[in-house]
Amino acid sequence: MTLRAKLLATYIGLTIAGVMVFSIFASWELKGYLDRRAESELKAHVEAVAALVRGGEFPPHSLPDHETTIRRMARSLNLRLTFIRKDGVVLFDSDVPLDSLPNVENHLSRPEISASRSGEFGLNRRESATVHEEFLYSATMVVIPAPDGTDTMYVRVARPFSDIQMLDRQVQIIIWAIGVLSIIVIAVVSSRASRGITRPILDIASSARAIRDGDLSRRIPVTSRDEIGTLASSINDMAEKLGNDIAQLKKLERVRSEFLGNVSHELRTPIFSLQGFLETLLDGAVDDPSVNRDFLEKAHKHAGRLNALLNDLIEISRIESGEMKMSFRFMPLADFLREVTGEMSSAAAKKHLNLAMEPGECADDKVYADRDRLKQVMINLLDNAIKYTDDGGSITVTTHREGTDWVCVEVADTGSGIPAQHLNRIFERFYRVDKDRSRDVGGTGLGLAIVKHIVEAHGGIIRVESTVGKGSRFMFTLKR
Ligand code: ADP
């Protein structure tokens, strides 16, 4: 059974029950009311006729003289009028011809007459023995003037019961018609209303199926702010989040396979070269004193590149897999920088570069850092500065404060500089401005990626400014 059928069954069931209860109660009440009204009307009529009799309008002995008047009155009121002598003999009856009157039986024992004799208001409902029709009878005893003082007689008014019943039936028909009409109206209205409820649910179901089948761009129109609206927007949110997650996963997957492609490409070059030189040597060049040493040195250089590349790869994969454990301590910054520049001075000297350390603002500051990792950052930056600065240039390491909590370490060179369009990409893995130059000077393309990872693991940021032909400035922040 569908939800809509259930809703409809509930609505209509409740309506039918309500209409039944209402109709039964209303018709019962109305029947009671109509009966009471018929009785009180009848009583009023009896009183009216009794008043006429009491006033001497219809003296008992001359009733046949008034036959036309009485019969007309009875017909126009749709009533039966009976006048009965005190001994029960029927003197006149509007439904009985005058000449049949002697055949009418004595009425003294009629219930309404007996009741009125004891001074009450007589009322009875039964089938007439005289005219064979059901009547509601009402009678009263009237005291009338008589030549020898007073006399009594009975006045009886009867109303055909079919008359009352017809009114009752008409009212019943109206009540039940209203009932049936309301059931139809409610059935139509609730059919619409239930469609209003079930249609959004069906929409939600079909959208949820579409989402399950991979259509993550599918959204359910949210048309209300009720529970169904909330459900729809929750499913939309879920689809959105799922879509984002999947996009993220796809991106990661793409980056990963790109990286793998780059790695194999990077490894292939030194391995081929190494293989080439060694094969040439084995093919006889080893005995040629004019080239053998040169070839061996070149083979050695490629082996060195391979080693550097593998070291950087190991490093970056340790950092990215989260395997690298950092151990932070407060350490004097100036001493540390002096030590690292000292270690790099011979490499700089080889290229006749002036490598200077000027402590600047933060000469006495301590920074919160992992010493070994920070050393790697400085070595990579100084190594690049040395690699990309021509003979005779200079490299300067300085520091300055940034706000109260941070120091900024700056490595500036007077080298080749980096064209502006590359500046925001040089921290990517394997990104190089000039591939050949980088390989020539033994670069792996991973140095700055490693630097950025480490600086960020310290909570700092790294940035670069550079002018082609004038030099570059790499700056990173550390917590003091
Ligand atoms: P590489 O091993 O190629 O030096 P890095 O990640 O260290 O790789 O640097 C990426 C690229 O950024 C380099 O190939 C080079 O083009 C550029 N670069 C880095 N440092 C400097 C610098 N001090 N001066 C000029 N270019 C630089």
443 close to ligand 1 (CB < 6 Angstrom): yes
433 close to ligand 1 (CB < 6 Angstrom): yes
- State how far Cα 223 lies from the chain centre: 10
| Amino acid making up residue 297 | E
Residue nearest to atom 21 of ligand 1 (CA): 384
- In the beta sheet, which residues pair with residue 81? 157
399: enclosing H helix or E strand: strand 394-402
Given ligand 1 and candidates 305, 418, 421, 468, which is best to mutate, with the most ligand atoms within 8 Å of its CB?
A: 418
Q: pLDDT value at position 190?
A: 87
Three-state SS at 143: strand
59 contacts 193 by C-beta, under 8 angstroms: no
Query: Scanning the structure block, which residue is given the tokens 């000297």?
Result: 349
393 close to ligand 1 (CB < 6 Angstrom): no
- pTM, rounded to two decimals: 0.59
445 close to ligand 1 (CB < 6 Angstrom): yes
413 close to ligand 1 (CB < 6 Angstrom): yes
CA of 216 from ligand 1 middle (Å) equals 41
Q: pLDDT value at position 366?
A: 95
Segment 450-472, tens digit of pLDDT = 999 999 999 999 999 999 999 99
Residue nearest to atom 20 of ligand 1 (CA): 384
Cα separation of 417 and 415, whole Å?
6
Q: pLDDT value at position 62?
A: 87
Q: pLDDT value at position 441?
A: 80
Q: Which residues are CB-neighbours of 426 under 8 A, at least 6 positions away?
A: 418, 432, 433, 448, 464
Q: Which atom of ligand 1 is nearest to the CA of 433?
A: 16
Using 70 as the pLDDT threshold, list the residues of the chain that sit under it: none
DSSP 324: P
Query: Scanning the structure block, which residue is given the tokens 């019961």?
Result: 161
444 close to ligand 1 (CB < 6 Angstrom): yes
Per DSSP, the residues of 173-187 read: HHHHHHHHHHHHHHH
Helices 161-212 and 227-282, axial angle in degrees (round to 10): 10
Q: Which atom of ligand 1 is nearest to the CA of 415?
A: 24
Three-state SS at 422: helix
Segment 362-395, tens digit of pLDDT = 889 999 999 999 999 999 999 999 999 999 999 9
Q: pLDDT value at position 279?
A: 95
355 contacts 395 by C-beta, under 8 angstroms: yes
Cα separation of 285 and 306, whole Å?
23
Q: Which atom of ligand 1 is nearest to the CA of 417?
A: 25
CA of 254 from ligand 1 middle (Å) equals 24
C-alpha pair distances (Å), 137 with each of 141, 156, 167, 295: 14, 7, 18, 143
